[in-house]
Amino acid sequence: MKAGHFSRASGLRGMMRSGLGILIVLFCGCRRAGDGPQGPLVVATPELYIGEGKPGEVVMGTIPLENVGPTEVRIQETRRGCQCTALEPEAPFTIPPAGVQNVTVRIKLPNHGEEIQERVVFLTDDPEAVPLAVTFRARIERPFLVSPARIDFGDVRPKTVVRATFLVLTTTGKPHPTADRLEVAAGAPWVTVHRRAGDTTPRYEVTLGETAPVGEQTASVTVKDPRVGYETSVAVLVRVRPLIVAIPSVLRLTSEQASQSGEMRWLIRRTDGKPLGRLKSFQGPKHLVVGSVDQSPQSPAFASVKLQWQPSAAQPPDSTASGALEFWFQDCPEPARAILVSRAGG
């Protein structure tokens, strides 16, 4: 068990007797100005570092709670964010006027991450008093690390396969000696990971598959050593951007709009700024036909497509139907896609 300790200098106690010390303690307290009425319970520091240890070990530290008021203070309850944290003494307990109660915190270090921050809140039996909060920090000695800890594939096109690698190293930067015993798993169906054969340094290859959905996506690759129970992860980020987009991507028709003929427009844009070419074909519901396509030589990456709509006799009353639209342009290898949703009246 590893320990850290905080104690106030004896000179400060002498200053408290003169009254000036009370002012100093109030400024040192973890409550901020404007938080509410200041109670008699104070602490010299709102944050205490209590050491480091291996996953599963317990680190401990002690902090003095001081009652600078003229009456007894009762700590009615304590709140903490993790069951891995124990306090001694546990609430309830009392602190006499001008008294000090040393509170010892013990934190069992988790099997992941690099640092733990545990916030402990002390609540008194005075409902008007602002709770006193202290944050205890401890570092976790990692048995290994991953490099890089973050892989950003950047902007990619849909159905594109891209790859990147990461290393598993000791904390001194050397190759992990028993990397073959590690458990490595991807946290999303569109990400796969495997160890590259033949590499003397433990290197893992992360593959972004064709099924990555359009938009900004995040996932993680977990690396765990089952012998010590420690695990860490590699963050995976990607922005899947289609080459050509239709605006709006989804158009909804009310029952009134769907019951009569009409026109609608889609703006088509090529995201890399290159020319679209002419509209080669349109695929969608049979009651939609292309009316016109407007394109400007000054903006070759854009097109405005007008579609003419006829009510569909096949759609049952009081129902909702959706249809996929695809706009194929001559100079684009993929279509601009959109969805039309129509509501039939009762």
DSSP characters for 52-98? EE-TT-EEEEEEEEEE-SSS-EEEEEEEES-TTEEEESPSSEEE-TT
List the chain domain ranges.
2-140, 145-240, 244-343
Mean pLDDT, consecutive 10-residue segments, the chain of 346 residues? 43 36 31 48 89 89 91 91 90 93 93 87 87 92 90 90 93 82 92 86 90 91 88 93 91 84 91 92 89 92 91 72 92 91 76
Closest CA to 25 of 12, 7, 9, 10: 12
pLDDT at position 257: 82
φ/ψ of residue 128, rounded to 5? -85, -15
What are the tens digits of pLDDT across the range 131-164? 899 999 999 888 888 999 999 999 998 888 999 9
CATH fold of 244-343, please? Immunoglobulin-like (2.60.40)
In the prediction, which pLDDT does 38 show? 55
CATH topology for 145-240 is Immunoglobulin-like (2.60.40)
Return the CA Rg of the chain: 32
Fold equal for 2-140 and 244-343? yes
Phi, psi for residue 30 in degrees, rounded to 5: -80, -10
Residue 199 has a pLDDT of: 75
Token digits of residue 264 = 């609608």
How long is the chain? 346
CA distances from 241 to 153, 155, 160, 206, 214 (A): 12, 6, 10, 20, 6
Q: State the pLDDT at residue 92.
A: 94
The pLDDT of residue 301: 93
CATH topology assigned to domain 2-140: Immunoglobulin-like (2.60.40)
State residue 314's pLDDT score: 63
Tokens, residue 120: 């402990």
